[in-house]
Chains A and B, each alone.
Chain A
């Protein structure tokens, strides 16, 4: 078996709908995911993340380009790729009239697992997702976050070689998100490969070995979260919530990113004192912290990840 779990070359997708101009959702995406990797597609809403994931998971045909899962052409022979994959769909919901235990177990059985294997993995997945206490309640009685955990439990229980997770922690509380992160890390330790989409920067940083930043159907940059942060030009950020109008006073210190009224300056620690002096002179409130993916994203894309 090839060492690459997923490979796409110049993948394009154009949506045509009556009475509306054609929309180019993917404009030539090339990427690779090696076996055992956790890779995140990071981008704003509408960037093309879900379209890519749907094509990769055999649910949508590309307009052009090539994409392979474990060496199988996803477009030409999807039936050969499908046994290797499992998907947490965006906005997916479990069957409301099944319990989490029934949901996970019957899904595994439909995928061809033996009764015993399905039963063991069901209990394990429910435990990992913190669902054991509600395992016998109908999903219709669960909260939105709990239902999302059922969806994740359903898919991680497959331990499929390649898992696609489309915004897997949406609607979850911080505790549940961390449980999902740990379960995902555990999956790759056992040999699975993960491709997830997210617009949570902390999630991308905490989970992924590598990430691809996507904007308007194009990959803008790829690398580790640390690579991306280093590319910003410093390790410290100074945030001036009302500083955008005074940007000229700070340009000489380092990279300046204006976002609405606020100004973020990326600097090396050595220049921090000088900046603070200028900020005090201009009577600007300033906070100092380490550079995060948020600054890297803003610099690469030119917009905040939450901006539509």
Chain B
């Protein structure tokens, strides 16, 4: 028999690197989408530059976090599109590739391609805010956490839709409401005080609040710090682990 494929049981994360590269190749062909991924951020930055130039540094950090947050929207759209229109789930998952590799490969490939404009924002923020290495690393770590959270949410949400048209409206609503309305692009202290705990429980605004505190723009009490850090860690870990569980579970319909 010529067949020479490995016929060992599927290992966790098997096929991750190859599928990540596949997805990066697919996404890289969409150069216009890469440019438009910065549209909301660019518009808001221009507004801030005109209306409140002293806040441009805060807005730049917000733009970085918002960019990584909206990558979840891309994962949602891509995962649903490939499943509904291309039957890619059937092609890839009825085989030795691990379901979590499919999810993470898609998320990672999207990240790889859409990272370039985020790096540009990072350089701008470093120049404008004169960031220290520690502040830079904090922004990097928080942006990565927000990405992991939103990519996991995006993948899980994608499995609930049967029609691509419905997805566009819901995904746009979800990611813009949670990415723009809370204090991501503007200082935490300007958000209504009664809603501060809510802001600290939402990953993009929690991450923005922590960066603003590190930059000295915002004061967070020890309780607020604990809520923001604890919320980010618990929510991201929970959602990520659930997404892996869900990716494995939804290979098979019932």
A residues whose Cβ falls under 8 Å from a Cβ of B: 54, 57-61, 78-80, 82-95, 97-98, 102, 106-107, 109-113, 117, 138, 151, 154-155, 158-161, 164, 190-192
Contacts and interface: CB of A to CB of B under 8 A. Distances in A.
A192 B101 CA distance: 26
B5 A110 contact: no
Nearest to B98: A79
Given A106-B25, A160-B5, A190-B2, A87 B18 contact: no
Contact of B1 (A61, A107, A161): A161
A82 B8 contact: no
- The residue in B7, B8, B29, B94 that gathers the most chain A C-beta atoms within 10 A of its C-beta is B94
A159 to B, nearest CB: 5
Contact of B95 (A93, A97, A106, A158): A158
- Chain B contact residues (Cβ within 8 angstroms of A): what range? 35 or more
Contacts of A79: 9-10
A159 B7 CA distance: 12
B95 A85 contact: yes
A191 B3 contact: yes
B91 A87 contact: yes
Given A92-B91, A161-B1, A112 B25 contact: no
Interface in B64-87: 82, 85-87
Contacts, number: 136
Contacts of A138: 29
Interface of B: 1-10, 14-15, 18-19, 21-22, 25-27, 29-30, 82, 85-97, 101, 105, 251-254
A254 to B, nearest CB: 45
Nearest to B101: A110
A277 to B, nearest CB: 55
A83 B9 CA distance: 6
A191 B1 contact: yes
B96 A87 contact: no
B252 A154 contact: no
B29 A117 contact: no
